[in-house]
C-alpha cells in the first residue's frame, strides 16, 4: 500500500503543481489516502481554548481552501485542519500558472490570490460537522471596497461552523492586504471583528495570522494591539516575499509568497520573538518550513503550542505526519515530560536573537 502511495506521489510531482494539488484533494475526497493506523500517543494531546486537540499537528490554510477534504485530512493523522482562505464571495484568483515548485529547495512560490468558492459554499460543507477540530481562515475580497467589512461579515457567517477563526491579513497575493497589519488599522479591524463575534450565537476563538516580513521594529506594536483587542492566538507565519536561501534561480524569479524549507529560519525566529513579546501567555501556531521531526521540535521549543504545515507535505508525502508525531513523542521522552507543555518556548529567548536551524 505504501509503495502505491509512493507511486502516486511520484506521479503528482510529474504534473503541473496546481493540477497535482487538485488531484490530491480529489483523491482525499474519494477516500484514496492512507489512514492513521492507531490512536495518537496521549502525551500529544492538549486542550486549548476549550478545544481538545488529539495531537498538535495541523494542515495549514490554503490546501483545503473550500472545505472539501477536512474529514479525510483528519483521518490521515492531522490533529486539526484550517480551511480557507475564504472570502465573502467566490473569486477566481490570479491567472495561472500561479504555483511553482522546486524540489532542490524543497520550496513553493504561490500567487494564487485567494481563489475560492466563497463562504456560503464552505458553510454548507461544514454544517452538521461533529468531531475533530476545524478552523476557518477568512480574508477580504480582491475587489472589495470595504475590506474590514469583509472580515466582519466573514466572522458573522462562519462563526457557527468554525472551531476557531483565523483573520488572514498576511497573504502577499492580494494587493494592499498586508497594510491591515499596521497598528492603527489593525486596532480598528479587530474592534469591529470582536463586535461581530460578540453578536454571533457561537463565539469561536479568534486568531490572527501574521506575515514573516514584518520589520523587527514594528512587531512589538502589532503584538500589543493584538493583545489589547482580546485576540486568542497568533499564527506565525504566512509565506514570505523574501527569496533568502533559495538556490533555484528560476523559482526565485517568480513573484508571490515563498514557503517551505527556506522560510523555516525566518518564521521560527519571528515565532520566538512573538513568544517573548507575549510572555508565553497567548497560544501560538508555528508554521513555516516544517519538513521533519527536528524542525517540528524546534518550532515547539521556539514557542509554538500547535504546528501547521503545507509545503513539507508536498515534498515528503503523508509519511511526514506520523514521522513528526513520533519525533515529538521522542522529544518528550528525552525531556522526561508527560506533555508538550514543558518544551513549549524553552528556547524562545535564544531563538528570538539567533537563527534557529
Q: In the range 82-101, which residues lie near ligand FMN by CB under 6 A?
A: 84-85, 99
Contact status: 239 vs ligand FMN (CB under 6 A): yes
Identify whether the C-beta of residue 170 lies closer than 8 Å to the C-beta of residue 22. no
Q: Which cell goes with 217?
A: 521594529
Sole window of 29-37, 70-78, 257-265, 333-341 interacting with ligand FMN (rule: CB under 6 A): 257-265
Among all residues, whose Cβ is closest to ligand FMN? 62
Residue 177 interacting with ligand FMN (CB under 6 A):
no
Return the number of the residue (238 or 341) whose C-beta is nearest ligand FMN. Answer: 238
Distance CA 314, CA 105 (A): 12
DSSP for 100-162 reads: EEETTTTEEEE-----B--HHHHHHHHTT--SSEEEEEE---TT-S-HHHHHHHHHHHHTTT-
Q: State in angstroms the smallest separation of the CB of 109 from ligand FMN.
A: 8
Rounded Cα distance, 41 and 54, in Å:
9
Is 119 a binding residue for ligand FMN by CB under 6 A? The answer is no
Per CB under 6 A, the list member of 110, 144, 174, 305 interacting with ligand FMN is: 110
Which residue out of 144, 157, 171, 237 is catalytically annotated? 171
Q: Which of 108, 251, 321, 328 binds ligand FMN (CB under 6 A)?
A: 108
Q: 332-343 in b/e burial notation, b at 16+ Cβ within 10 A? A: beeeeeeebeeb
- Closest approach of ligand FMN to the CB of residue 159, in Å: 18
Residue 246 contacts ligand FMN per CB under 6 A: no
Of all helices (H) and strands (E), which one includes residue 247? none
The residues that bridge with 209 in the sheet, in sequence order, are 168, 235
Least distance (Å) between residue 201 CB and ligand FMN: 25
d(CA 109, CA 95): 14
DSSP letter at 217 equals G
171 catalytic, yes or no?
A: yes
Q: Which of 109, 123, 114 is nearest to 94 (CA)?
A: 114
Figure out which of the listed residues 309, 324, 328, 332 binds ligand FMN, where binding follows CB under 6 A: 309
The piece of 60-68, 147-155, 213-221, 292-300 that touches ligand FMN (CB under 6 A) is 60-68
Q: Using the minimum distance from each CB to ligand FMN, give the nearer residue, 46 or 311.
A: 311
Q: Parallel, antiparallel, or unpaired: how do β-strands 57-59 and 257-260 relate?
A: unpaired
67 binds ligand FMN (CB under 6 A): no
Among 92, 69, 94, 101, smallest CA distance to 82 is for: 69
Residue 173: all three cell numbers together: 497575493
Closest to ligand FMN by CB, 109 or 282 = 109
Total chain residues near ligand FMN (CB under 6 A): 27
Nearer to ligand FMN (CB atom), residue 201 or residue 257: 257
- Binding string, 157-176, against ligand FMN, x = CB under 6 A? -----------x--x-----
Cβ–Cβ < 8 Å for 211, 170 = yes
Choose the binding region for ligand FMN from 55-63, 174-182, 330-338, 341-349 (rule: CB under 6 A): 55-63
Taking the C-alpha atoms of residue 27 and residue 21, their distance in angstroms, rounded to an integer, is 10
Closer to ligand FMN at the Cβ: 322 or 337? 322
Q: How far is CA 103 from CA 46, 253, 260, in A?
A: 34, 16, 10
Residues assigned a catalytic role: 171
Which residues form the interface with ligand FMN (CB under 6 A)? 60-62, 65, 84-85, 99, 108, 110, 112, 137, 168, 171, 209, 238-239, 259-260, 263, 287-290, 309-312
Amino acid at each position: 500500500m505504501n509503495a502505491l502511495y509512493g507511486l502516486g506521489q511520484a506521479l503528482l510531482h510529474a504534473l503541473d503543481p496546481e493540477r497535482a494539488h487538485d488531484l490530491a484533494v480529489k483523491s482525499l475526497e474519494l477516500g484514496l489516502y492512507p489512514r492513521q493506523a492507531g490512536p495518537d500517543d496521549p502525551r500529544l494531546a492538549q486542550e486549548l481554548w476549550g478545544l481538545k486537540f488529539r495531537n498538535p499537528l495541523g494542515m495549514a490554510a490554503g490546501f483545503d481552501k473550500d472545505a472539501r477534504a477536512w474529514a479525510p485530512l483528519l483521518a490521515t493523522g492531522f490533529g486539526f485542519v484550517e480551511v480557507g482562505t475564504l472570502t465573502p464571495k467566490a473569486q477566481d484568483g490570479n491567472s495561472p500558472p500561479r504555483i511553482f515548485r522546486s524540489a532542490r529547495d524543497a520550496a513553493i512560490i504561490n500567487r494564487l490570490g485567494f481563489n475560492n468558492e466563497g463562504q456560503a459554499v464552505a458553510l454548507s460543507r461544514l454544517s452538521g460537522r461533529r468531531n475533530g477540530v476545524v478552523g476557518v481562515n477568512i480574508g477580504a475580497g480582491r475587489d472589495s471596497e470595504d475590506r474590514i467589512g469583509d472580515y466582519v461579515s466573514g466572522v458573522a457567517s462562519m462563526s457557527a461552523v468554525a472551531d476557531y477563526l483565523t483573520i488572514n491579513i498576511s497573504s502577499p497575493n492580494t494587493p494592499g492586504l498586508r497594510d491591515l497589519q499596521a497598528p492603527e488599522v489593525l486596532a480598528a479591524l479587530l474592534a469591529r471583528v470582536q463586535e461581530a463575534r460578540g453578536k454571533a450565537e457561537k463565539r469561536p476563538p479568534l486568531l490572527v495570522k501574521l506575515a514573516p516580513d514584518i520589520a523587527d521594529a514594528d512587531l512589538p506594536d502589532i503584538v500589543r494591539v493584538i493583545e489589547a483587542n482580546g485576540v486568542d492566538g497568533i499564527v506565525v507565519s504566512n509565506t514570505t516575499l523574501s527569496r533568502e536561501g533559495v538556490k533555484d534561480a528560476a523559482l526565485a524569479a517568480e513573484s508571490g509568497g515563498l514557503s517551505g524549507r527556506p522560510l523555516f529560519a525566518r518564521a521560527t525566529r519571528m515565532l520566538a520573538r512573538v513568544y517573548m513579546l507575549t510572555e508565553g501567555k497567548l497560544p501560538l501556531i508555528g508554521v513555516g518550513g516544517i519538513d521533519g521531526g527536528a524542525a517540528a521540535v524546534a518550532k515547539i521549543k521556539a514557542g509554538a503550542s500547535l504546528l501547521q504545515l503545507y509545503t513539507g507535505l508536498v515534498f515528503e508525502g503523508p509519511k511526514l505526519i506520523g514521522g513528526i508525531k513520533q519525533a515529538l513523542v521522542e522529544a518528550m521522552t528525552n525531556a522526561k515530560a508527560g506533555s508538550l507543555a514543558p518544551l513549549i518556548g524553552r528556547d524562545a529567548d535564544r531563538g528570538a536573537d539567533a537563527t534557529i536551524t
